[in-house]
Amino acid sequence: MVETPFRRDLDDEEIINFFIVCSIVGLFILGPVNYTCQQGPYQSKLSHSMDSFTISNIPKGSNRLWLHFSCLCFISFYVLHLLYKEYKGMLEKRIQHICNHRHQPDQFTVLVRGIPLCPEHNARGCFVDHFFSKYHSHSYESYQMVCDAKEIEELLHVASSLDRKIKNLQQRIAERKHSSRSIFSKMLQENVSQLEMQEEKLQEVLHKIHLLQHENILKGKELPAAFVSFRCRWGAALAAQTQQHEDPLLWITEVAPDPGDVLWNNLAIPYSQLVLHKIGVFIASALLTIFFALPVTAVQGIVQFENIKKWFPPVRAVQLIPGLSSVLTGYLPSFILNSFIYVVPYAMLSMANLGGCTSRSKREIKACNMVFCFLVGNVFFLSLLSGSLLDQIGESFTHPKDFPGRLASAVSAQADFFITYILTDGLSGFSLEILQFGLLIWHFIMAHSFGQETKNKPYLYSFPYFRVIPTVSLAILIGMVYAVIAPLLLPFLIVYFFLGYAVYVNQMQDVYESVYETHGQYWPYIHQYIFIAIILMQITMIGLFGLKSKPAASISTIPLLLLTILFNEYCKISFLPTFHHFPIKNARENDDRDEVEGQVEPKREPAIDAYRPPWLRSTDITSRESGFTQPLVTPP
C-alpha cells in the first residue's frame, strides 16, 4: 500500500476545528441573541422550539442583525484563512511527495494522442519514433504503442471462463475418486472426458491469444495513442506541457497517469470525438438530476404531513398509532432520501467512464463533480423548494416579487429537516461504511452466480472518493449556510464529522488499498466545493437581511461576496497551475539529485515497460486482476 500525505484530506481536523469555532460563536453569541429577542414571532407560541434560536426570531429592522453580519464576516474571513493555509500546505505536500516518489515511471513518461499515420510506412509506431527522435533527441528514450485489443480481451474472457470450468471439474473428480459406488464411477468417467475436452479448448484459445500478441499482428491494430518514455524527468515534463504541432489536434501530449491508473479501453476513443462524449455525459447526468427531483419532492411531501392529509385522507389512520407520525415526518424522509442517494455515485461513475477519461483518477474526479452538483441541486435546493415552499408555490406565481423573500425564509424553515438528514447520513451512512454491506452482497452474487472464487483470492478495493467527497462536501455546505441562520445545527454537524473522521481513517488504514496515485489532485476540487458553500452562505444572508428589512446589512454583505470571489481567483492564479502541471525546475532538481546519487540508469529502465497493456504482459488467466482492486496478499 502506498502511504501518502493526502489520505486524510477528506475529513481533516481543520474541518472539525472550523465548525467547533463556528459552534462557539453560534451557541454563545448568536443563540442567546436570537432567543432573548422579546419581540420575536416565536416567543409567544413556541418558546422552546428550535425556531426561537434561529434568525427567524429576530424582528424586522432590529439592530441585532448587525451582530449576525459581524459573525458572518468573522466566519467568512476565518474559512478563507483556513483555505489559503490548506491550499498552500497541499501544494508543498504535492511537490514533496513527487520528490519522494521521483522514481515512479509516470514521471518519465508522456501520453501522446492524435498520432497521424507515417506517410512512408503507413504505420503510427515508426512515426512516433521519428518524431520524438528528431524534436526531442536530447531526452527521448522509447515508446509503447496502444493497440486495439478487443479480440484479445474477448479470448481472455473465454479462457478465464474455461479455466473456472476446469477447476470445478477437477474438484468434482477429486471428490468422486473416493467413492466406490458404480453410479459415481460412471459420472467420474464423464467428468474426466469433459475435463480433457475443456483443457483442449483452453489450449486452443491460449494459442490464438499468443498469435494475436505477435508484433506483426499488433502493428496492424495500432491506435493513434502511445506512451513515450524519456531519459530524464525534465524532458518528459517539457514534452508533456508544450504544443508539439501547429495543428492542435495532432500530437497532443499530457503527463502520463500512474500505470495502475490507466483506462486502456478509453484510449481507443479518437481525441476529436471526446467533445461528443463529454456532451453526452453532461446530458445524461442532467437528465438523472432532473428525474431524481420526483422522489425528492415525494420525500419532502412526507415532511409536510398536513398537506398529505389534505391530498390523501386515508393517511389520517397513521395518527392512531402513537409516535408513528413523528417517525414518518422526521426520520423516514431522510432515510428514504439517503437510500436513493446511495446508488447515485455509482451511476455517475458509469457515466463518467463514457466521457473518454484516460485514467481512473480523472474519471472519479469527473464523477465527484457530477455527484456534488447533483447533491447540491436535489438535496439542498430542491429540499428547500419542495419543502417549506410547497404550500406557497401558488402565491409565489401570483406575487413573483415576493419569491426571493420566500426563498430566504425557506432556508431557516428547513433547519429541522437538515438536522435529521445529517443524523441519518451519519448513523446509516457510517454504519454501512463499516459493515461494507454493499460489497458483501456483491461478493455473494459474484461467488454464487458467476462462479468467481472470491474466497480463495480476496481483494482490497480502492477508496471511493467519488462517493465520500461529495457527501462530506454537502455536509460542509449545509453547515456553512446554517452557521449564522440556525447555529443549533452545528453541534450535530460536529458529531457527524467526528464519526466520519474515526470511520474513514480506520477504513483508509485497514480496509481500502491505494490502487493509483494522484499526488493530491482532489484538493483543488474540494477547495472549489467549499468556495461554493461560502458563496451560498453569503447570498443567503443577503436575502435574509433584505427579508428582515435591513438593506444596509444586505448592501454591506456585497463587498464581502466580491472579496470572496477575488480570493478564489487569487488561489486559481497562485496555486492551481502547479496542480495541473509539473514545474520544469523541480523536475530538473530531481534529475540532478539522481545524478549525484548515481541512480539514473537503474531507475530509468522500469519506465519503458511499465506501460505495457495488461493483455500483453501475461496470459496467466488465473492471476488477472481488476483495475479497481489489488490482491490482499501479493507474492514475494
Q: What is the pLDDT of residues 320-330, one digit of tens each?
A: 555 555 555 55
555 has pLDDT over 80:
yes
C-alpha to C-alpha distance for 256 and 241, rounded to whole angstroms = 11
Question: Do residues 48 and 94 lie in contact, with contact meaning Cβ atoms separated by under 8 Å?
Answer: no
Q: Letter for the amino acid at 306? A: E
Average pLDDT over residues 64-68: 90
C-alpha to C-alpha distance for 418 and 379, rounded to whole angstroms = 9
Q: What is the pLDDT of residue 193?
A: 79
- The neighbour count for residue 158, using CB atoms within 10 Å, is 17
Q: What is the pLDDT of residue 368?
A: 94
Q: Give 90-134 pLDDT, tens digit per residue.
A: 999 999 988 888 888 999 999 999 999 888 878 888 899 999 999
4 has pLDDT over 50:
no
Q: What is the pLDDT of residue 326?
A: 56
C-alpha to C-alpha distance for 421 and 445, rounded to whole angstroms = 31
For residue 603, give the C-alpha cell: 531507475
550 versus 534: the higher-pLDDT residue is: 534
263 has pLDDT over 70:
yes
Task: Decide: residue 401, CB within 10 A, 0-12 exposed, 13-18 middle, 19+ buried.
Answer: exposed
C-alpha to C-alpha distance for 270 and 504, rounded to whole angstroms = 39
* pTM of the complete model: 0.84
Q: What pLDDT band is residue 633 in, cutting at 50, 70 and 90?
A: very low
Which of 202, 213, 224 lies closest to 157 in space, CA to CA? 202
Name residue 359's beta-bridge partners: 262
For residue 256, give the C-alpha cell: 502520463
C-alpha to C-alpha distance for 257 and 331, rounded to whole angstroms = 44
Q: What is the pLDDT of residue 172?
A: 75
Task: Decide: residue 444, CB within 10 A, 0-12 exposed, 13-18 middle, 19+ buried.
Answer: exposed
Q: What is the pLDDT of residue 385?
A: 67
C-alpha to C-alpha distance for 441 and 443, rounded to whole angstroms = 5
Question: Do residues 477 and 536 lie in contact, with contact meaning Cβ atoms separated by under 8 Å?
Answer: yes
Average pLDDT over residues 336-347: 79
159 has pLDDT over 80:
yes
Name residue 140's beta-bridge partners: 230
Q: What is the pLDDT of residue 255?
A: 92
Q: How many CA atoms lie within 13 A of 275 on its CB side?
A: 2
Share of the chain above pLDDT 90, in %: 27
167 has pLDDT over 80:
yes
- The neighbour count for residue 374, using CB atoms within 10 Å, is 22
Task: Decide: residue 422, CB within 10 A, 0-12 exposed, 13-18 middle, 19+ buried.
Answer: buried
C-alpha to C-alpha distance for 265 and 248, rounded to whole angstroms = 23
Coil, helix or strand at residue 144: strand
Q: Give 171-202 pLDDT, tens digit per residue.
A: 777 766 665 555 556 666 777 778 788 888 88
Q: What is the pLDDT of residue 2?
A: 42
Question: Do residues 379 and 474 lie in contact, with contact meaning Cβ atoms separated by under 8 Å?
Answer: yes
Q: What is the pLDDT of residue 410?
A: 66
15 has pLDDT over 70:
yes
Q: What pLDDT band is residue 415 in, cutting at 50, 70 and 90?
A: confident
C-alpha to C-alpha distance for 55 and 32, rounded to whole angstroms = 11
State how far Cα 228 lies from the chain centre.
Answer: 29
User: Could you tell me where the DSSP H helices lie in 513-633?
Assistant: 523-547, 551-574, 576-580, 584-597, 600-604, 606-609, 614-617
Within 8 A by CB and 6+ apart from 404, the residues are 543, 546
Coil, helix or strand at residue 210: helix
* Local structure of residue 262 (DSSP, 8 states): B
Which of 311, 541, 231, 509 lies closest to 407 in space, CA to CA? 541
438 has pLDDT over 80:
no
C-alpha to C-alpha distance for 564 and 570, rounded to whole angstroms = 10
Average pLDDT over residues 127-145: 92
C-alpha to C-alpha distance for 409 and 90, rounded to whole angstroms = 38
Q: What is the pLDDT of residue 459?
A: 52
Task: Decide: residue 235, CB within 10 A, 0-12 exposed, 13-18 middle, 19+ buried.
Answer: buried
Average pLDDT over residues 385-389: 53
Task: Decide: residue 441, CB within 10 A, 0-12 exposed, 13-18 middle, 19+ buried.
Answer: exposed
For residue 626, give the C-alpha cell: 481488476
Name residue 227's beta-bridge partners: 111, 144
C-alpha to C-alpha distance for 214 and 342, rounded to whole angstroms = 45
Torsion of CA 271, 276, 282, 285, to 10 degrees: -100
C-alpha to C-alpha distance for 291 and 465, rounded to whole angstroms = 24
